[in-house]
Amino acid sequence: MLNLTELREAVVAMSEWQTARLSQSIVDGDDRLVLVLEKGKLKLNILLCVSRDFGRISVLNDLPGTPQNLKQFAQFLKSHFDGGRLRSIKVEENDRIVYFNLESREEQRSIVFQLLGARSNIFLLNEERIVELSLRPFSKTRSDLKRGASWVRTSRNSADSGEDRFKKLKGLAYLEAVEAHYLSKEQEASDSALVQKLKVVFRKERASIERKTKKLLAEKIAGEQSSAIRRKGELLKAILNKISKGQKLAEGKDPKTGEVISIELDPKMSPSENLEKYFKKHKKLERQTMRAYQELGANAVRLEEFEALELEFSSLEEKSDPEALLNFSKKPIVARHLNRFFPPSKEQKKQATTEFRIGKRVLPTRLVPKRYKSSAGLEIWVGKNDEGNDILTTKLSRGRDLFFHLDASPGSHVVLRAEGSKTPPQEAILEASELAVHFSKQRNVAKASVHVAHCKDITKPAGAKHGLVHVHRGKSLVLKRDPKRLDKILSERIKD
pLDDT in tens, 215-243: 888 877 777 777 788 888 888 888 888 88
Q: Which domains does the chain have, with CATH numbers?
A: 4-151 (2.30.310.10), 199-329 (1.10.287), 364-494 (no CATH)
Q: How far is CA 40 from CA 21, 43, 128, 196, 341, in A?
A: 9, 8, 32, 47, 51
pLDDT tens, residue by residue, 308-320: 988 999 988 888 7
| Residue 267 φ then ψ, to 5° | -65, -20
- The per-residue pLDDT of the chain, averaged, comes to 86
Average pLDDT over residues 40-63: 90
d(CA 143, CA 104): 30
d(CA 370, CA 415): 10
pTM of the model: 0.56
Q: Is 154:116 a contact under the CB 8 Å cutoff?
A: yes
Q: Three-state secondary structure along 212-223? A: HHHHHHHHHHHH
Whether 67 shows a pLDDT value over 80: the answer reads no
pLDDT tens, residue by residue, 153-180: 876 655 567 898 998 889 899 999 999 9
Average pLDDT over residues 278-292: 83
Which residues 6+ apart lie within 8 Å of 197 measured at CB? 338, 341, 342
Average pLDDT over residues 67-81: 76
Report which of residues 297 and 179 the model is more confident about: 179
Q: Is 240:252 a contact under the CB 8 Å cutoff?
A: no
Residue 207 corresponds to which amino acid? A
User: Using N-to-C axis directions, what is the helix angle for 171-223 and 4-13, rounded to 10°?
Assistant: 120
Whether 191 shows a pLDDT value over 80: the answer reads yes
Whether 68 shows a pLDDT value over 70: the answer reads no
Of 413, 408, 470, 459, the C-alpha closest to 436 is: 413
The pLDDT score that the predictor gives to residue 159 is: 52
The pLDDT score that the predictor gives to residue 354 is: 46
Q: Three-state secondary structure along the chain? A: CCCHHHHHHHHHHCHHHCCCEEEEEEECCCCEEEEEEEECCEEEEEEEECCCCCCEEEECCCCCCCCCCCCHHHHHHHHHHCCEEEEEEEECCCCCEEEEEEECCCCEEEEEEECCHHHCEEEEECCCCEEEEECCCHHHHCCCCCCCCECCCCCCCCCCCCCCCCCCCCHHHHHHHHHHHHHHHHHHHHHHHHHHHHHHHHHHHHHHHHHHHHHHHHHHHHHCCHHHHHHHHHHHHHCHHHCCCCCCEEEEECCCCCCEEEEECCCCCCHHHHHHHHHHHHHHHHHHHHHHHHHHHHHHHHHHHHHHHHHHHHHHHHHCCHHHHHHHHCCHHHHHHHHHHCCCCHHHHHHHHCEEEECCEEEEHHHCCEEEECCCCCEEEECCCHHHHHHHHHHHCCCCCEEEEECCCCECCEEECCCCCCCCCHHHHHHHHHHHHHCECCCCCCEEEEEEEEHHHEECCCCCCCCCCEECCCEEEEEECCHHHHHHHHCCEECC
Q: How far is CA 104 from CA 122, 157, 257, 390, in A?
A: 20, 32, 103, 43
pLDDT tens, residue by residue, 336-358: 888 888 887 665 555 554 456 66
Cα 465 from chain centroid (whole Å): 31
Q: Is 368:358 a contact under the CB 8 Å cutoff?
A: yes
Question: N- to C-terminal Cα distance for the chain?
Answer: 33
User: Using N-to-C axis directions, what is the helix angle for 271-319 and 332-341, rounded to 10°?
Assistant: 110
The pLDDT score that the predictor gives to residue 496 is: 60
* % of the chain with per-residue pLDDT over 90: 28
The pLDDT score that the predictor gives to residue 347 is: 57
The pLDDT score that the predictor gives to residue 473 is: 86
The pLDDT score that the predictor gives to residue 492 is: 87
Q: Is 89:14 a contact under the CB 8 Å cutoff?
A: yes
Q: How far is CA 145 from CA 97, 123, 133, 151, 158, in A?
A: 15, 10, 10, 7, 20
